[in-house]
Chain A
Amino acid sequence: MTLSGRDAYRDALTRLAYDDERILCIEADLGGKNHPFALAHPSRFFNFGIAEAAMVDMAAGLAAGGYKPFLSTFAPFAALRAAESLKLTLGYLSAGVTVVAPYAGVSGAWFGTTHHCLEDLAVLRSIPGVVIAAPYGEAEMRAVVGAAAISGRPHYIRTGRNAAYESLPWEGESPPAVNWESTADSGAVCLVSVGEEGTRMALEARLERPGLGHAHLCYLDHAHLAAAAVELAERHSRFVVVEEHRAEGGVAEALALLLPGRIVVGVNAGHGWPVQGGDHNEVMAQLGLDLDAVRSAVDRAELGG
């Protein structure tokens, strides 16, 4: 059975910790009962309680003491409530701390706006030095967590709630800056997919329009996006970026700056607040984030943006 992003994280970290005694798993009371890491390594699992900022700052002290803290709480509480701690600990100190943030975007669905986070990439992308990843599927999550554990660098890993996807295949150990799911003629529009639902929608759009290119991006920090932009520009000049995030601070905005002279059209969550219930897809649709929006964006890109 394919695991969701957060379950894949928990399983991957649990396995890595057998061979690395410095790995710690810390939750802010949202790890659930029977967390696999707690069962396998009880002396290195900690529920700090509902104390997100303290969790991030304490992780700096733990990292200084030689440990590799992996922290997890929902994206809005990590990226927004604890934003200043992220700035100081992951950014200024460049501490080897990894924050794994499920419930990104509106994957919290009917739980409502307090549990949504359409702003985390804007916050984290503005903090220099943080490696940012939004894995699509189980294999990508496992690879990203494994890379974080050996890198010594600060990481922010964004994922959804319970959706489970098969990752796109890639060559090598770590997901590349650009994973070409589909290459196409240079004149064709290239979909650029970000995160779980962005990638799902891009794959669905390409099934309808096989002539489209499709580049999937797993890593979203400035260094990775700059490398990706070079590769994207070598093959295409018209792009539609699909992401479950607001336009401001999102990946389309970043690529537009990195790809001067190219056409970059964004499919994103816009400026609305999802105030109704529904499942994940239905709440995305309230924000205009659906396959129709991707189709329309492709049409606009073909017409010149």
Chain B
Amino acid sequence: MTTVLDATRVLAERARRARELVVDMAASPRGCHLGGSLSVMDILIAALERANRDEGTRVVLSKGHAAAGLYAALHVSGVIEENPAPVYGLPGSPYTGHPGPKVPGIAFPTGSLGHGVPYAAGWAMALKLGGRHGLGVAIAGDGELQEGLVWETVQVAVARRLGNLVIVVDRNGGQNDGLVADISPLPKLAERFTAFGCDVLEVDGHDLAELSAVFADDREGADRPLAVIAATVKGMGVPAVQGRAGAHYVTIGEDRAEKWKRTIR
């Protein structure tokens, strides 16, 4: 019998392997958005596990700059057969710096921030109209919440009573030019989502058991979208960059990548 503990261990191993691939992509000629790819990894692994066993559920990485994390997560989750790391960013490869629909498992192009939330909302609405089972899952960054389109969509989703829409905020506190708190802070974020009419959960974004429990909920009968505020750490799992705002975009050499991979936890 598979226990919750066993299942979590499987996911943890996937997350560890995926983090290795992300470091490999940071060592590619292009480099990658390392910090955000690592902070969102556990959320991605848990969400894709739900999507893998439920064809009605679609996961949209709205913070598309974490594409390296998404490709790695899709690979270790069995959606992408080939290892994307060796060809990441190269001519002839679909694994561009922001994800597009040529990659298996990616339904919507993201990278221009804000758009993934309405894509997922539209998917959730289609499910609801058809009386079908599943979730529309959008994974957004906390910096991304500065985009008006996110809130425009939340307002529509609440009005349309899309209880099967799950918006996960990867709250790593960083954005391109610095800290969210310094640039355009998000005071009372949970209260803000609540005020818009969402259900709200605050979770540890690196606790795979907790995340899996969130995504296991079918939200049958729910009529308020769910906002999951996931506390995360930029660069999580790679001690050399963990918690460092400067790890937003990183290009490293192969020697350093090998060293970093040996320290992944």
Contact = CB atoms under 8 A, between A and B. Distances in A.
Given A49-B155, A49-B159, A51-B156, A61 B125 contact: yes
B249 interface: no
Size range of the interface on A?
20 to 34
B127 A65 contact: yes
Given A48-B156, A49-B156, A65-B130, A58 B109 contact: no
Contacts of B252: none
Contacts of B115: 57, 84-85, 88
**At the interface, is chain A mostly helix, strand, loop or mixed?**
helix
A261 interface: no
Contacts of A85: 115, 118
Interface in B108-138: 108-109, 112, 114-115, 118-127, 129-130, 132, 136
A66 B126 contact: yes
**At the interface, is chain B mostly helix, strand, loop or mixed?**
helix
B109 A53 contact: no
Nearest to A82: B149
Contacts of A66: 126, 130
Given A53-B149, A85-B115, A93-B108, A58 B121 contact: yes
B112 A84 contact: yes
Interface in B35-72: 58
A58 B153 contact: yes
A67 B109 contact: no
Nearest to B147: A53
A46, A66, A88 — most chain B CB neighbours (10 Å) = A88
A45 B112 CA distance: 29
Nearest to A24: B129
A51 B129 contact: no
Interface string A41-83: 0001010110101110111111111110000000000000000
A92 interface: yes
A53 B118 contact: yes
B156 A64 contact: no
B97 interface: no
A81 to B, nearest CB: 11
B121 A54 contact: yes
A61 B129 contact: no
A49 B155 CA distance: 9
Nearest to A58: B122
Contacts of B122: 57-65
Given A53-B149, A85-B115, A61 B136 contact: yes
Interface in A100-126: none
A269 B149 CA distance: 32
A218 B124 CA distance: 36
B58 to A, nearest CB: 8
Given A54-B118, A61-B126, A63-B122, 13 more contacts: A51-B156, A54-B121, A54-B149, A57-B115, A58-B125, A60-B118, A61-B136, A62-B122, A62-B126, A64-B126, A65-B127, A84-B115, A92-B100
- 4 tightest CB-CB pairs across the interface, nearest first? A61-B122, A65-B126, A57-B118, A58-B122
Interface of A: 24, 44, 46, 48-49, 51, 53-55, 57-67, 84-85, 88, 92-93
14 contacts: A44-B129, A51-B152, A54-B153, A60-B119, A61-B119, A61-B121, A62-B122, A62-B123, A62-B129, A65-B125, A65-B132, A67-B129, A85-B115, A88-B112
